[in-house]
Every structure is written in C-alpha cells, then in structure tokens.
Amino acid sequence: MMADKTQESRVMDPVYIKAVHGHFEIVKAYWERTTPSFIVKTRGKGYRQHLMKPAFKALADELRGHGYLPRIRWIIDNYHISILERKVGGEESYLRNQILFAATVLTVMFDGYLRSNNPVLTQELMTGVPVIVNAMVFTVALLVIFGVHEYGHRYMAIKRGMDTSQPYFIPAPPGMGGTLGAVLSQREPPVNRDALYDLGLSGPISGFVMTALVGIVGISLSYVVSNAQATRWMIEYPSIRFQILPMPPLLDLIASVIRPTMEGQVLIMHPVAFAAWVGCVVTFINLIPSWQLDGGHIIRAFLGRESHKIISAAGVILLVVSGYMFMGLVVAFFMMKSGAESIEPLDDISPISPSRRLGLIIYVLVMLLSLVALLPI
C-alpha cells in the first residue's frame, strides 16, 4: 500500500508536462529527489540564449496560473527546468498592516510635534499656526513619500506577476523621523533579471519623484533669514538647538530656484521640507548596492550572484564613510547572518536586457541627487 502511494506521488502532472512541451523540446523528464525536472532544448533558429529567455518567461506566465513555478539552470551543456509548487499568500489579513500604520502615524506625528514646537517657528516665523497642524502636515508628507516608494514596488511586482503583501510601516522613536519606513513581503522570486531590476528600481524612482514634489512644496514654505537674525534667535531662545543639515543636491537645486540664499543668509526649513530631506536620506540608503537593499537587487540583476557578494561589502563601507554607521552595522550583521544574497530569479541564466542597461544611468543619477553625506566624503 505504501509503495502504491509513493508511486502515485511520483507521477508527473500532465499540466506542466504539456506546458513545458509547448515552449521547449523535452529531451528527458526525470525526478530530482521529489522535484519534477526536465532537460530541454530551445525551439527555432538563432542563438539559444536569445530563444530561451522569452520561451521561459512564457512558460512561467502559463504555469503561474496553474499553481506552479519553473526554475531553469544550465548544467553540463543542457538547460534543466525544475517545477516548483507556487505558494501564494491566499486571503491576506490587513489587521497587522493597519495596526502598524496607525502606530507609525502616531510616532511620526509625535516626532513632528517635537520638531515644530519651538519658539522660532511658533513665535517668529509661523505665528498663528498651531503646532499640531505642522505636525500633521509633516506626518502626511513623510508617509506619502514612504507609501509611494513601497507601492511603486508593489505595482511593479503585480505587473510582473509576483505575489506580494501590502506595505508594513515600521514605527520608530522620536528623533528618527518617527518611522523606519515600510517594507513588503515578497512571496515569490522574479521570473528573470529584468523583473528583478524593475522590482528594485521601481520603489526608489517612485519615492524620488514624490520626494521632489514634496521638496518643491516644502522649500516654497521655508524661510530665508540672515545669519545675524539666526544668531539673535539662538541667544534669545537658548533652549533651541539649531541643526545645520547637509543638503542633498536635489533640495539644493530646488532651493536655488524657489528660495535662493545669498551670502550671509540661511534657509530655515519648513516641516514639509524636512520630510523631503528624510525622503532623500531613505532613497540614498535604499540605493546602496548591498544585500537586500533596492540597490543590491539592481546590481544583482546587472552583474549576477558572485559580483553582488563583493559589491555588497563595498556598499557597507560606503554607508559607513557617508556617516550611516548604524545602518552599515545593521546591513553587515544581516549579511553575516543570512549571507549577502539578493533575490535569485527563476531564470538567472539570461543576462539583463540592453534597455535596462540604460537605466543604470538613472540609478546613479537618482542616487547622487539624493546623497545626504552625514560625514564629509
């Protein structure tokens, strides 16, 4: 009886046999332990790698609807396709997302309240504007930036057929902006390096565009005062500690057009402008080419697995020398604990498409415009 059940469990599903046969020429079907696998050849005339990439993508799209995912490898001069069960999230409960989002709203608003509740703003520059209003606009501006970033990822994941969760916002203590941002739970790998690249770049680009829009609003609401006036306020209000923030090139560019400062003047940022500043910091950190950061996914898509491991270590060094010591230590810790791996695509053989290579320019440009160096580099 047990032998019969074992035999039945090793019968291949005609669904994936037919699908593989529809896109490839099957040379051999076999079991790799408990995983159904096939040695296949491409069909048609031309360079086999060029033929394989679209054929495998079409196979993955077809099998996804039947509850399977294929994975392709190159072993001893042959393409090997393994068939994996697709484990989707099913009915998703949003209770945890909602609780975390509500907690993040409270922590960000508290952080914004503390930043806005100083006499320079309340008694000199923004008289008549309640502190809670400034806290609220800061909260909306910051969470919109983070939300657009994560939904940029989610939109691209859904467009590429990947199962993914709703964003999980992460609250943080005051002094850190009130939040550590948000994350998505990626439940299945991208089909190829193109999809991995699109997934990695979509979030930072979306967040960068929203940061620029928030920055335009925030800088237009900010104030240009003389150094002498700022010094008088420091004497008059000794409890206020003025912070000289390194400006990212994006906000410098916006300020040079909307709120230019002359020699002997200083820009005092509105809470909305500070939200844009935080958005630049988050975009820059996410684009660091290391580990599971967005930049790590992008570099993994371009250069492959082994090069990604080496560059991940360089990314940690870049974080440290830029002044993000804590973040560098966090990334280094998780790299040592779980390895420097990024997401491995189902097709990790095919190189990235030439059109995506042009996107490397966008990646570098956005990273440079978002650079907030907390230490001189």
Give tens-digit pLDDT for 241-268.
Answer: 667 789 999 999 999 999 999 999 999 9
Structure tokens at 273: 């402008």
- 291 closest CA partner among 250, 337, 324: 337
Question: How far apart are the C-alpha atoms of 1 and 375, rounded to whole Å?
Answer: 70
Instruction: Give first-to-last CA distance, the chain, whole Å.
Output: 71
Q: How many CB atoms lie within 10 A of CB 85?
A: 8
The pLDDT score that the predictor gives to residue 238 is 81
Q: How many CB atoms lie within 10 A of CB 36?
A: 20
Q: How many CB atoms lie within 10 A of CB 334?
A: 13
The pLDDT score that the predictor gives to residue 91 is 62
Quote the crossing angle between the two packed helices 249-258 and 354-369, to the nearest 10°.
70
CATH 3.30.1360 in the chain, residue ranges:
13-85
- 286 closest CA partner among 358, 353, 202, 351: 202
CA dihedral 67, 73, 79, 80 (to 10 degrees): -50
- Buried residues in 243-282 as b, exposed as e (16+ CB within 10 A): eeeebbebbeebbeeebeeeeeeebbbbbbbbbbbbbbbb
290: which DSSP letter?
S
Q: What is the CA radius of gyration of the chain?
A: 25
Exposure of 194 by Cβ count < 10 A (0-12 exposed, 13-18 middle, 19+ buried)? buried
- Strand-pair category, 223-226 with 78-85: unpaired
Per residue of the chain (377 residues), give pLDDT as tens. Answer: 344 444 445 799 999 999 999 999 999 999 999 999 999 999 988 888 889 999 999 999 999 999 999 999 999 899 999 999 988 665 667 889 999 999 999 999 999 999 888 888 888 999 889 999 999 999 999 999 999 999 999 999 999 989 888 999 999 888 878 898 899 988 899 999 999 999 999 999 999 999 999 999 999 999 999 999 988 998 888 877 667 789 999 999 999 999 999 999 999 999 999 999 999 999 999 999 998 899 999 999 998 888 888 899 999 999 999 889 989 998 998 888 776 566 899 999 999 998 888 888 999 999 999 999 876 55
Question: How far apart are the C-alpha atoms of 237 and 257, rounded to whole Å?
Answer: 31
- 141 closest CA partner among 168, 119, 115: 115
Beta bridge partners of 182: 169
HSE value, Cβ hemisphere, 13 Å, CA-based, for 255? 24
Beta bridge partners of 81: 38, 72
The pLDDT score that the predictor gives to residue 336 is 84
Structure tokens at 213: 């829009």
Beta bridge partners of 165: none
Q: Where are the alpha helices (DSSP H) in the chain?
A: 2-9, 14-23, 48-64, 95-116, 119, 131-159, 193-221, 227-236, 249-258, 271-286, 294-303, 305-321, 325-338, 354-369
Structure tokens at 245: 């923030």
The pLDDT score that the predictor gives to residue 206 is 97
3-state helix, strand, coil in the chain (%, to 5): 55, 15, 30
34: which DSSP letter?
T
Check if the beta carbon of residue 245 is closer than 8 Å to that of residue 300.
Answer: no
Helix, strand, or coil (residue 74): strand
pTM of the model: 0.91
Element (H, E) at 71: strand 68-75
Element (H, E) at 170: strand 168-171
The pLDDT score that the predictor gives to residue 56 is 97
Q: Is 13-85 in CATH node 1.25.40?
A: no
Check if the beta carbon of residue 162 is closer than 8 Å to that of residue 186.
Answer: yes
Q: In degrees rounded to 5, what are phi and psi of residue 84?
A: -110, 150
